Structure 1
Amino acid sequence: MEATDAARMQVRPGEEPWTHEEVARLRARLEEDVAAARREVRAVEAGFAELLEDPVEGAGDDSADTGAKAFQREHELALAYNTRDLLAQSEEAIERMNAGTYGICRSCGQAVGKARLQAFPRATLCVTCKQREERR
């Protein structure tokens, strides 16, 4: 994102305008999140591929061992789904930066808020709209 893009980003009343450095830090953080999530997803997928390739894995286990392994696999799958979701959110945030729509609430069209984006750079809703969504 160029300096002019930072200057065009909306802020809430009372907030200082975005600087190029602040936007660059957010972009770098999102890009780091994307890289880390991709590595984690690849690692989990590789682990499951190995598990599927080993037909004798778990042979001779009692029911408690089988249940524990099934629980562990389900837990790893849930973590992988969460990681994929965070990956998609981070990629989408970078796309919004590129499109010039980053920091605009998807619900009301107002600024999400600089402090909110610095705390959670994948935010797509301002605090008011997020609270309204959570009450539903």
Structure 2
Amino acid sequence: MAEEQVELTKFQVLLSEERARLEREMEAFRSDTGKLEGDGRKRTDLGAADGSASLSEREREMGYHDQLEGTLKEVDDALRRVEEGTYGLCELCTEPINEARLEALPFAKLCIACQEKTEG
């Protein structure tokens, strides 16, 4: 039991560090792109000639922002599973997720076999 607690603590620390890193990255993103308006778009005062390039850049920025938010949600979900005592168990088959997988992707919800089934 003590070994399981050490492992759980190790992953809780990894997840907390990842959460802090993501929050720093999101803050840097907000600083780099300026204040986001209510709809999440960067404010620009570009003319029509720059419109398509500007739109493409904004789409990339928002895609990156959405990716960061999605990963942060996954990390928060994993931290919740730690608290609930279900962390490290596959959400589909309920078998333990390989430790190497959790070390590589601490917020993994599925074992490799189930992940491959959902992708295929």
**C-alpha separation in 2, matches of 1:125 and 1:92:** 13
Which amino acid letter does the alignment assign opposite residue 119 of structure 1? A
Q: 2 CA distance for matches of 1:100 and 1:82? A: 27
Q: 2:113 pairs with 115, 118, 128, which one?
A: 128
Give the alignment partner of residue 32 of structure 1, picking from 9, 17, 26.
17
Structure of greater Rg = 1
Match of residue 98 from structure 1: 83
Question: TM-score, with normalisation over the residues of structure 1?
Answer: 0.72
Structure showing greater relative contact order (alpha-carbon pairs closer than 8 Å, 6 or more residues apart) = 1
Percent of counterpart pairs with the same letter? 29
* TM-score after normalising by structure 2: 0.80
State the SS of the aligned residue for 2:96: coil
SS in structure 2 at match of 1:25:
helix
Deviation for aligned residue 1:45: 4.6
- Where does 1:1-136 land on structure 2 (aligned, <5 Å)? 4=2, 7=4, 20=6, 22-45=7-30, 47-49=34-36, 51-52=42-43, 57-58=45-46, 61-63=47-49, 65-135=50-120
Residue deviations 1:97-129, cap 9 Å, x none?
A: 111100011101111111111111111111111
One-letter code aligned to 1:49: L
- Give the 3-state SS of the residue equivalent to 1:49 in structure 2: coil
In structure 2, C-alpha distance between the alignment counterparts of 1:123 and 1:90, rounded to whole Å: 9
- Distance in 2 between the 1:74 and 1:85 partners? 16
Aligned residues: 114
Question: Following the alignment from structure 1 to structure 2, what is the Cα–Cα distance between the partners of residues 98 and 131?
Answer: 27
The amino acid that maps onto 2:18 is D
The separation in 1 between residues aligned to 2:23 and 2:65, in whole angstroms, is 10
Query: CA distance change for structure 1 residues 49 and 128 in 2, over 3 Å: closer, same or farther?
Result: closer
